[in-house]
Amino acid sequence: MKRSMLISGALAVALVAALGVGAALTISNDKGNAGGNAAPHAATGAASKTAGTAAENTATTTGQTVEMTADYPGYGSPAKAVAAADLVVTGVPLGSRETILYPEIDFTSGTPETNPQYGLTWDDIDMDAMGVPITVTRVRVTRVIKGAVKVGDVIEVAQVGGTDVDGTVVRERNTVLLSEATAAASAAGRSAPSGFLLLLSDSGNGTYDAINPEEGVLAVDSAGAVSMLSESTRKSPVGATLAEYEAAAR
């Protein structure tokens, strides 16, 4: 039985902190029972559960899946998307790892309406329940369109999705993980991409995040044609070629 619920409070804050964007979140629970817990948890064996940090995920997958939907900002054109990005590159994935992201905790800033943690204490905080699974993929840069990296550099790109402590696979509805994109293309009857066009924001902690899952992570073929990795629920407009993104960056 699949259930949906609006995710607010600390879990929403965790994703906002992870991606640097405003996001309204919904989770669908498809664990096969109405009483299943839909919220992701911190990984068993994680090195740390400190607020504002990420820890290695060592959970084992059970085959159950939870789907998360985040309402990311949209940009509507290659020019606006490039302007919003700190880094625009093409690249090829080298490998990935999973981590659990823990949110920043702030009990005093803002108001109860703007800060779900306002007025709480540490006794009210369950760091396990606030952990968000993240997949971090190492990508070798093959072309630089915007930003302070060089061809041949290896960057790390973080995307929402992974395995929680219960072994439940957590996925964001519009996110195709770089580590799974080639297999996803094959399953959909499409040719495997020769690389990826990435429009990224600098997280400030050594990793980059896509400006959103649809306009920020795109497939590129050998002729420079650009396409979305999956059917978009928002039908976000994207450029047809790398040349459009290069022109937008000038």
Q: How confident is the model at residue 90 (pLDDT cuts 50, 70, 90)?
A: very high
DSSP of 26-86, one letter per residue? EEEEESSSTT---S--PPTT-S---TT-EEE--PPP-S-EEEEEE------SHHHHHHH-S
pLDDT of 94-125, one tens digit each? 999 998 887 777 888 888 888 877 888 877 77
- Where are the domains positioned within the chain? 3-249
Q: How far apart are CA 194 and CA 219, in angstroms?
A: 8
CB of 194 closer than 8 Å to CB of 143: no
Q: What is the mean pLDDT of residues 126-147?
A: 89
- Express as a percent the part of the chain with pLDDT over 90: 42
- Counting residues of the chain whose pLDDT is more than 70, the rounded percentage is 72
Summarised one tens digit per residue, pLDDT across range 64-80 is 888 888 778 889 999 99
Coil/strand/helix, residue 247: helix
Which helix (H) or strand (E) is 13 found in, with range? Answer: helix 9-19
pTM over 0.85: no
Overall average pLDDT of the 20-35 stretch: 39
